[in-house]
């Protein structure tokens, strides 16, 4: 089986980052993740992320720079998780695929039950954050 490309957004606002909990009935239900979804044919990474965040959270974002890509092998599939920094002016979030969201401090990321593929991204983000302080 091939590798599934998944885009996710690192949305930081007022020094806090958005994480979302996957609904229990979904794959990896109950895990926290950076919101996003699978790349569709013909889309750029930026288009995919903007579409997914609009569909999943009703959030209009500006997609900024690429941050980190992680290849992670789950039992049934391998994903390439591609993260981008995003900015938004929107304050209200609508939940579709998630049952909870949190805005948390970057250094606290590893205290949450993150999807395994997200952990290296969270670790890199924490390192970057330390350097920028």
Ligand X SMILES: Nc1nc2c([nH]c(=O)n2[C@@H]2O[C@H](COP(=O)(O)OP(=O)(O)OP(=O)(O)O)[C@@H](O)[C@H]2O)c(=O)[nH]1
Binding site for ligand X (CB under 6 A): 6, 8, 26-28, 33-38, 79, 81, 115, 117-118
Q: In whole angstroms, how close is the CB of 100 to ligand X at the nearest point? A: 15
Q: In whole angstroms, how close is the CB of 88 to ligand X at the nearest point? A: 16
- What is the H or E stretch that residue 74 is in? none
Q: In whole angstroms, how close is the CB of 26 to ligand X at the nearest point? A: 5
**Three-state secondary structure call for residue 61:** strand
Closer to ligand X at the Cβ: 5 or 133? Answer: 5
Closer to ligand X at the Cβ: 3 or 105? Answer: 3
Strand pairing partners for 10? 85
53: which residues sit within 8 A by CB, 6+ positions away? 9, 11, 35, 36, 59, 60, 61, 86
Counted residue by residue, the chain has a size of 133
Closer to ligand X at the Cβ: 5 or 13? Answer: 5
Helices (H), 4-132: 45-57, 119-132
Q: In whole angstroms, how close is the CB of 66 to ligand X at the nearest point? A: 15
Closer to ligand X at the Cβ: 25 or 133? Answer: 25
The Cα 49–Cα 19 span in angstroms is 15
């Amino acid at each position: 089986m091939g590798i599934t490309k998944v885009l996710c957004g690192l949305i930081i606002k007022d020094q806090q980052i958005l994480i979302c909990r996957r609904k229990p009935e979904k794959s990896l239900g109950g895990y926290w993740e950076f919101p996003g979804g699978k790349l569709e044919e013909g889309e750029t990474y930026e288009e995919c992320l903007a579409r997914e965040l609009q569909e999943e959270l009703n959030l209009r974002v500006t997609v900024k720079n690429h941050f980190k890509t992680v290849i992670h092998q789950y039992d049934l599939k391998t994903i390439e998780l591609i993260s981008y920094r995003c900015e938004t002016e929107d304050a209200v979030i609508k939940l579709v695929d998630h049952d909870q969201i949190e805005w948390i401090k970057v250094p606290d990321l590893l205290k949450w039950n993150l999807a395994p593929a997200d952990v290296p991204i969270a670790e890199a983000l924490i390192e970057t954050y330390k350097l920028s302080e």
